[in-house]
Amino acid sequence: MKIAIAHGDGIGPEIMKAVLSLFDAAGVPLEYVPVDMGKWVFDKGYNNGMTPEAQQTIESLGILFKGPMETPKGKGVKSVNVTARKTWNTYANKRVFQTLHGVDTVFSKAGIPIDLTIVRENIEDTYGGIEHMLTHDVALSRRFITRPGSEQVIRYAFEMARKKGARRITCGHKANIMKITDGLFLEVFYEVAKEYPELKSDDVIVDDLCMKMVTRPDLFDVVVLTNLQGDIVSDLCAGLVGGLGFAPSANIGDHICIFEAVHGTAPDIMGKNIANPTALLLSGLAMLRHLGFMGHAARIENALLYTLESGARTGDFGDKSKPALNTTEFIQTIINNLGKTPAHGARPILEDKPITPTQYKLEKNPLIMSKETMDEKIVGADFFVESEEQPTPVAEKILAGLNPKFELVTISNRGTQVWPKGSVFTNLVNQYRCRIESKDAAACTQEEILELYQHFMKEFKVCSIEILNMWGEKKGYSLAQGQ
């Protein structure tokens, strides 16, 4: 079976060479097709960090195994890691965090076992990187949460939890504050949960989740989160089991999957042959299981667990009184331990049932869309304007000559209402959100919104506009703080 291999930057080539040598020693029946990705490809002028030939190869094979990659700083280019995940719609980032005997942590010393699976939405949220300067003082980042995108990752999490035999699946969120975006994610979670009655489904606010994870991580099983929150929580969980050097990562999509090490490229130790390959190895084992090589994966993982139990270590972990092994020696020790069984957490040797990735030839971009169940109408717009004036003079300028079909409902600054009521103690920046709504929620047209824009531009620089939509009686926009 052919898979694409991207060796990565910094220590990437060293740890990839080590892991593939272990796979070869274990007789894993894979053929590796190298592809050009990473910082050195950026430096050749490819702004997405990969050559066209690399993209074509990965899309034809459907599986990418990659080392850590660096994004050049200060050049205005996007992360190749994020670009790859988003380009190929690998919507679910699955990261498994387990206690590893031989890797001492606060929890292992306390006898508290950890077995957590974090599923992070991988495409949407602030990771769209859609940002604008509205004024010289005000930056805006757009956060997209979609119903179909949320359903993709949440359904994957439930299916994975069912196959794993999980006891609990939890949605981490901030819907108490971001009532529309996180609220939509949470709504979809409970819609999907109805189809899995055998699983205990619950939710927790993400800050409370973080507090509980560092006090009682054994209470959680599978946790699904939006992109940014999932990114933070998954790295928190890596700290619970010894660090990013022991944290595998799988990015799952319908057509292409990426398995990678998510730690840094460690340029300070590049070429010294002392890097820890465990994270990349664990990601590779997730890839083998995804491809159906269950027996090979279990045999290699048992050898790794046996090796860690024996006290073998690289310089970044373990008993400092014991000599550290270099990368090559550490992998060779695992190779020597193939066939041995660890005392803790031994994996059963299952039969291999290889699943050849489907070769997809798409002629157009897939459109994911849910069915609209209620009538939609426009009832106004939020106008974001630049002004150094106080709220009342701003309101007076807007109200002068305003189309009588509309009313100025509120003016807010950084999300807090400052007109028609507010507090003089609220600090202001030079950008206001001015909400215009039609009276009695009457439907209006885009042409009427354009006329409102012309009304505003007579007095202000309009930085941005957001249409106010309603579906049936449900408003598609949030209130200001204090409104």
For range 209-213, the mean pLDDT: 96
Residues of the domain holding 458: 376-475
pLDDT at 74 over 70: no
State the total domains in the chain.
1
pLDDT given for residue 363 in this prediction: 85
Mean pLDDT over each residue of the chain, to the nearest integer = 94
For range 153-176, the mean pLDDT: 96
Separation of alpha carbons 429 and 413, rounded Å = 7
Give the residues across from 140 on adjacent strands.
Answer: 132
pLDDT at 454 over 80: yes
Nearest to 395 by CA among 372, 376, 420, 360: 420
Rounded to whole angstroms, the maximal C-alpha distance in the chain is 83
Please state which of the ranges 40-49, 185-194, 203-212 shows the lowest mean pLDDT.
40-49
For range 181-192, the mean pLDDT: 98
pLDDT given for residue 218 in this prediction: 92
270 pLDDT band, cuts 50/70/90, is: very high
203 pLDDT band, cuts 50/70/90, is: very high
pLDDT at 75 over 70: no
pLDDT at 83 over 70: yes
Over residues 274-304, the pLDDT tens digits come to 999 999 999 999 999 999 999 999 999 999 9
Nearest to 306 by CA among 282, 280, 339, 275: 339
Separation of alpha carbons 359 and 62, rounded Å = 7
pLDDT given for residue 336 in this prediction: 97
pLDDT given for residue 162 in this prediction: 96
pLDDT given for residue 234 in this prediction: 95
pLDDT given for residue 355 in this prediction: 84
For range 348-359, the mean pLDDT: 84
Query: Quick check: is 264 in a domain?
Result: no
- Residue 222's CB is within 10 A of a number of other CB atoms, namely 23
pLDDT given for residue 304 in this prediction: 97
Nearest to 80 by CA among 61, 64, 95: 64
Query: Quick check: is 465 in a domain?
Result: yes
Query: Quick check: is 159 in a domain?
Result: no
- Residue 310's CB is within 10 A of a number of other CB atoms, namely 14
pLDDT given for residue 30 in this prediction: 96
pLDDT given for residue 204 in this prediction: 98
Over residues 7-34, the pLDDT tens digits come to 999 999 999 999 999 999 999 999 999 9
Query: Quick check: is 458 in a domain?
Result: yes
pLDDT at 78 over 80: no
Query: Quick check: is 341 in a domain?
Result: no
Q: Give the CATH number, domain containing residue 396.
A: 3.30.70.1570
Cis peptide before 420 (omega within 30 of 0): yes
For range 114-119, the mean pLDDT: 96
Query: Quick check: is 409 in a domain?
Result: yes
Share of the chain above pLDDT 70, in %: 99
376 pLDDT band, cuts 50/70/90, is: very high
Share of the chain above pLDDT 90, in %: 81
For range 42-56, the mean pLDDT: 89
